[in-house]
Amino acid sequence: MKIGVIGAGQVGATTAFLLAQKELGDIVLLDIVEGMPQGKGLDMAQAGPVLGYDCQVIGTNDFADIAGAEVVVVTSGLPRKPGMSRMDLLNTNAGIVESVTKEIAKHAPDSFIVMVTNPLDVMCYVALEVSGFGRQRVFGMAGVLDSTRCRCFVAQAVGASVEDVQAMVLGGHGDSMVPLPRYITVGGIPIPQLLDQPTIDAIVERTRKGGTEIVSLLKTGSAYYAPGAAVAQMVESLLRDKKRLVPASAYCTGEYGLNDVYVGVPVVLGRGGMERIVEIELMDEERQALEASAADVKEGIEAWKASRGK
């Protein structure tokens, strides 16, 4: 099998490295900067004998090299800088994603697209429209990342292993995301039985600001280890048909009362791609928060359409 990773920056290179270690297939790392993907690909290939993975990692500047890829991960675009929101990146990154998606549709017409570029939910919509692939084949990484951040914070607060924490974060990948404390458990125990409400509220807020916190600390870039790990988990579920139920940005056609919008919802990922959206019970305030988050995404989608004269 072949996996394409578009964009050889921090997120793309980390994703490629983690995918190689999972031995899910040969990796094609692509970037427009000559020499960078080739150098990083060669470096990763040379790590194989030490880490024990046996797959090819190839760097390239030519989209023709992703031909036959079963999954293409899109990380290309500008990262956030301190003081920037994900939506601030919309116009620049939409143009990049449009161009990249056309190349994917041309060279890997049977692939799944896993979107990572921000603003993620809007970029998923861009890729869906430009590729014509259908919603089962175009989805975004955000919910897995937001949930793993939440799991990390909960584990630290409870003093438990991260392996025993499960969490569900819905909504758009931004400040209006919707962590669901009722669905967060540690060893099967709901966190309201383990933490007081002020601590839970603080974890919810820190989850919403998780990416911003890292951007503020790094000052010259954004997160890449956790995003790369989140993408690798999704790709593994696709190619090994693990049917993981995870939160991901998916195109809604009536689910949760939402239409014509990408937003983070629980989905099942397998060989059929985004095989189905799972609708869970939401309290009125949770549903209202999800609708508000989706409205923020729709605003970005309409801004993109307006920029194209649609």
Nearest Cα neighbor of 21 from 240, 232, 226 is 232
| Alpha-carbon gap, residue 266 to 282, rounded angstroms | 12
Residues 6+ apart with CB under 8 A from 212: 175
Q: Is the Cβ–Cβ distance between 174 and 210 less than 8 Å?
A: no
Provide the residue count of the chain.
Answer: 310
β strands within 61-150, DSSP E: 71-74, 112-115, 138-140
Q: How does strand 138-140 pair with strand 165-166?
A: unpaired
β strands within 61-128, DSSP E: 71-74, 112-115
Q: Is the Cβ–Cβ distance between 241 and 270 less than 8 Å?
A: yes
Nearest Cα neighbor of 141 from 274, 26, 28, 30 is 274
The single residue of 173, 180, 233, 258 carrying the catalytic annotation is: 173
Assess whether 107 carries a catalytic annotation.
no
Q: How far is CA 183 from CA 30, 84, 147, 168, 251, in A?
A: 38, 30, 11, 6, 22
- And the tokens for 269? 């990922």
- And the tokens for 200? 């839970």
Amino acid symbol at 38: Q
For the annotated catalytic residues, the residue numbers are 173
